[in-house]
Every structure is written in C-alpha cells, then in structure tokens.
Amino acid sequence: MSLKNQIICVKAEKIVFPGRSLCRCEDGAALFTEGLLPDEAGEVLVIKDKKSFREGILKNIVKKSSERIEPECLSFGKCGGCSFQNAGYESQLKYKSLCADELLSCFGAPVNKILPSPEIWNYRNKMEFSFFNSEGKTDLGLHQRGSFNRYSPVPPCYIADESFVKAARIVKDFANKSGLSAYNNVTREGFFRHLVLRKAKNNNVSQPCHSGLDPESCLSRRDCGSGAAMTNVENGVFGKTQMLVNIVTNFQNKDAAFWNPLIDELKEIADGICLTKNAKASDAVRVDEFQVLYGKEKIVEKLNVGGKDYFFNISPFSFFQTNSKGAQVLYNEVLRLLNPDAKCVLLDLYCGTGAIGISLAHKVSEVVGIEQVEQAVENAKENALLNGVKNAGFFAKTAENWAKENSKKFDAAIVDPPRNGLTKEVIKFLLNCEAEKIVYVSCNPSTLARDLSLITESGKYKIKEITPADMFPQTYHIETITLLERQ
C-alpha cells in the first residue's frame, strides 16, 4: 500500500550526500528527508513513494540527538544557504567524513582525516543576495530551500563576511527610499534585482606605496622604480576594506545623481561600487551593461601556498574560491600530494582564473592552463603577470575540444571540474597523457567516485591518497582532493 501523503514516524540512520537524512520505514524501505540527525526520530510527510525508496518532508522531531544544538540563525531550515547549523562543527566534520568514506573507501586507498576550515562563521568572501517585494516594501535576502521565488531576508547571515551584512542594510534602505520596487520574475517588472558583494579577506591592509603612486597606477606599471608595483601588492595596498559592491538592476537608465546618496554611504566601507544592468528573464546574474559608479572594479586577494604569497585580481564576475582561508588549506594540500619537481610540466585543466596553476608555477618548469570561459582566461593571464609568473600559459577552450587537439605530454595534471565531473573524452585523454601523477579536486564526491572508477578500471592509474576538505562550514558541501599515480 502506498504511503504517499501520509505522515509516518521514522528514525534517521545517517547523513548521506548531499546532506540528506537516510531513514528506515517500518517495512524496511529507505526514506530520504532533510533535517534529522543520526539516531533522531521524526514525523515525516511522505511525498514520493517509489518501488525502491521514499521521500518525505520533516514535520516534527520526536526524539532529538545529543549532537543537536540550537542554530545561530532564525532562518535556518527555511533559507537555502545553510544545512548543518543544527549540529556543532565537530559533528559536521564527522558527518562529512562519513559521507566521503562511504563513497570513496571502496577504492582501497586511505581516506585521510578531513581538513577543517580555518573559519566556521563569516567565512564567505562572496555573497549574492536577491531583492524581493515583501508587504509593500523592497527586501533583500537568499532563496529559501528548494524555491526560486521565495526568499529569507538578510540580515542576519552568519556565513557571510560581517561587512556584507552592513552593506546589505545600506543598500536595502536606499532601495526603499528610492520608491522603486524589486524585480518580479513572473511579471518582469521592477528595478532592483541582485546585490553581489565580494571581499579580499586575506588582504585587508591599507598602507601607502613607497613609490608615491596611487594603487591603481602602481598595479598597472611593471617598470615602477625599484619594483614598487609588486611591493604595493605585497603590502596589500588597495584601500579601506578591499570590498566590491555590485548592484544588479533591470535595464532602466538612472542618472548619476540617483546613485550619489548610496555612494556616499557605501564608499566608507567599499573600494569599488559597480552597476550591472540585466534585462534577461533568468534569475541568474547576467550582464547586458556594466559600469563603475565609484572607485575600482577589482580587488586583490592574497593566498599563501607553500610558504609564498600569491595575489589574484578579483572583479565582479571572476571565479574565485568563496572561502579564502579554506582555499589556502586546499591548495597547500594539492601541493603536498603533487610534490612536483623543478622539471615538471604541469597541466591545469578547468583552471578558472589560474589560482592553482599560478600558486604552483614556481615549483615546476611549465604550467598549461585550460578553461572554456574566455574572461576567466584573461583574468588568469593578468594574475600570472601580477605574480611575476612567466612559465604559465592559459588557453580558452573546452576541456573536450582541447583534449582532441592536443598531442603534448605532461608530467603531472590537476583537474578541478564542475559538479558534474569529467566527461568520457577528458578521461580518455588523461589515461593517454602519460602523466605520472593526477590530482583530482572535486566538489561532488558522487561524480568523483564515478570518475575514479572509470580511471582506475583501466589499470593505468592507482589511487594513493584521498583527502576531504571542508570549504563550506554549516553546509553539507565537501571538497575532496585525490592523488592518482601511474602504474
């Protein structure tokens, strides 16, 4: 008999990726829900009843775990940003480790202890908030869990950098004073769409450049006196808080006077204030027109890898790891596992803006970076210049197309694909590129397990080590770094 639309009591056995509670019904069938910790019992409304499993919505917790704590945020459970605020950080790490073990221990390689994030609150260096209409006012928030048209307001937000919350308040107040409404995805009416905030959390220092140049001029010159351009970067000289504010609106023209009150308030905490106009129906941030309202359109973040500082330009639309201190942990683990020598020719596949390849460039003979997004490749070239890296080349191609055309052999390869993992064409290339080592960085242990099976079943590579890393505290997300060696 189907249990659909009935409320039943179940007990959670464990957390499985991606952050779901695996429970057992009285008849032994598996039921997946969200919000129950292991050993907790709850009343669940069954919404799907399939032959092999059920899905449900948690309605009430009947028995609580000793690991359960009170969430910091009142929006927890509704907001889509966090999924683990109901458990302490040590418990979060345990759940993530168990998920990684379950998916990856079958390969016979040691799964190392998970690397914790140096920060567990206010760690995010980028936040994308949405404007929405609420009770006749313009509000600002994050998508609610599983919804594209309902939102949880901010403040508060405990995983965002603290200065983001202040900026969000200022922008929300301005939007309400302006008399203009939030954009409606259904009617396609309204003005304010998104607020995107970015910050260089590791590089928030303001010191004068000894050359006397302003930071922007100093950055643009490579012939500055006694190396003042690089000294200026190394000293972290880019203004007040190294924060970018990007306001995304519908395509309506407003003169400079309209924005002046907002600029006057934000310039006390931001290095750059930008305006992006987006006329497309999609709820994603798209760029039809872009302008800088105040200051600069780039900030510079610092990462220390292998004991050396590296610097990276971040513009409003650059890809960069959203946990700066966690990124240092991640990249240092990549370096440890790869352990390249000075003769190594390194392939950096899905290189983005070049952060991994550039941070390893001084350890190897040559870096070849491949990325399909042309703007990211341009950013990678700028970042190589910024760090004095001359042995790295970056090319705008899809990994699949490049693999078909390339005949170059490599000593080592790093792959950091999107969530859907590697395609069969890329795996075929990796099996034939003769790299002695491959380091696979993954944000999805499910697709990682699939790809590792395809790579190892060839007999050409064997998994030596697997290291989970927590880049996203308070959420279910897991980053995993895997070392494969050629047989």
DSSP string, 129-195: EEEEEETTEEEEEEEBTT-SS-EEE-S--SSB-HHHHHHHHHHHHHHHHHTPPBP-TTT---SEEEE
Which CATH code for domain 7-68? 2.40.50.140
Predicted TM-score of the model (pTM): 0.89
Q: What is the mean pLDDT of residues 448-455?
A: 97
Structure confidence by residue, pLDDT tens digits, 229-268: 333 344 444 445 699 999 999 988 899 999 999 999 999 9
- Give the architecture-level CATH label for domain 97-118+322-486: 3-Layer(aba) Sandwich (3.40)
**Which residues does residue 56 pair with via DSSP β-bridges, in sequence order?**
46
- Amino acid of residue 486: R
pLDDT score for 230 = 38
Domains in the chain: boundaries: 7-68, 97-118+322-486, 126-203+238-301
Structure confidence by residue, pLDDT tens digits, 143-158: 998 887 889 999 899 9
260 and 232 Cβ atoms separated by less than 8 Å: no
User: Where residue 207 falls among pLDDT bands split at 50, 70, 90?
Assistant: very low
Q: What is the mean pLDDT of residues 161-179?
A: 95
Cα distance between residue 171 and residue 162, in whole Å: 15
Count Cα atoms within 13 angstroms, Cβ side, for 205.
Answer: 13
Tokens of 15: 């957390």
Cα distance between residue 487 and residue 481, in whole Å: 19
pLDDT score for 240 = 53
342-380 core/surface letters (b: 16 or more CB in 10 A; e: else): eebbbbbbbbbbbbbbbbbbbbbebbbbbbebeebbebb
pLDDT tops 60 at residue 225: no
Element (H, E) at 290: strand 289-295
Q: What is the mean pLDDT of residues 449-471?
A: 97
Is residue 82 flagged as an active site residue? no
pLDDT score for 55 = 96
CATH, domain 126-203+238-301, list 2.40.50.1070, 1.10.1740.10, 3.40.640.10, 3.90.950.10: 2.40.50.1070
Tell me, yes or no, if the two domains 7-68 and 97-118+322-486 fold the same way: no
**For the chain, percent helix, then strand, then coil, each to nearest 5?**
25, 30, 45
400 and 393 Cβ atoms separated by less than 8 Å: no
pLDDT score for 234 = 41
pLDDT score for 281 = 80
Structure confidence by residue, pLDDT tens digits, 91-134: 999 999 999 999 999 999 999 999 999 999 999 999 999 999 99
User: Where residue 224 falls among pLDDT bands split at 50, 70, 90?
Assistant: very low
pLDDT score for 163 = 94
Mean model confidence pLDDT for the chain? 90
User: Where residue 9 falls among pLDDT bands split at 50, 70, 90?
Assistant: very high
**Which residues does residue 367 pair with via DSSP β-bridges, in sequence order?**
346, 392
225 and 256 Cβ atoms separated by less than 8 Å: no
Tell me the CA end-to-end span of the chain in Å, nearest whole number.
53
Q: What is the mean pLDDT of residues 190-212?
A: 74
Cα distance between residue 279 and residue 188, in whole Å: 9
pLDDT score for 229 = 36
Q: Which position has the higher pLDDT, 445 or 147? A: 445
pLDDT score for 37 = 97
Cα distance between residue 63 and residue 49, in whole Å: 24
User: Where residue 205 falls among pLDDT bands split at 50, 70, 90?
Assistant: low
Report angle CA 350, 356, 362 to the nearest 5 degrees.
130
| From 23, 218, 351, 443, the catalytic residue | 443
pLDDT score for 226 = 30
Q: What is the mean pLDDT of residues 329-340?
A: 98
pLDDT score for 185 = 84
52 and 32 Cβ atoms separated by less than 8 Å: no
Q: What is the mean pLDDT of residues 222-231?
A: 35
Q: Are strands 299-305 and 308-314 parallel, antiparallel or unpaired?
A: antiparallel
pLDDT score for 93 = 97
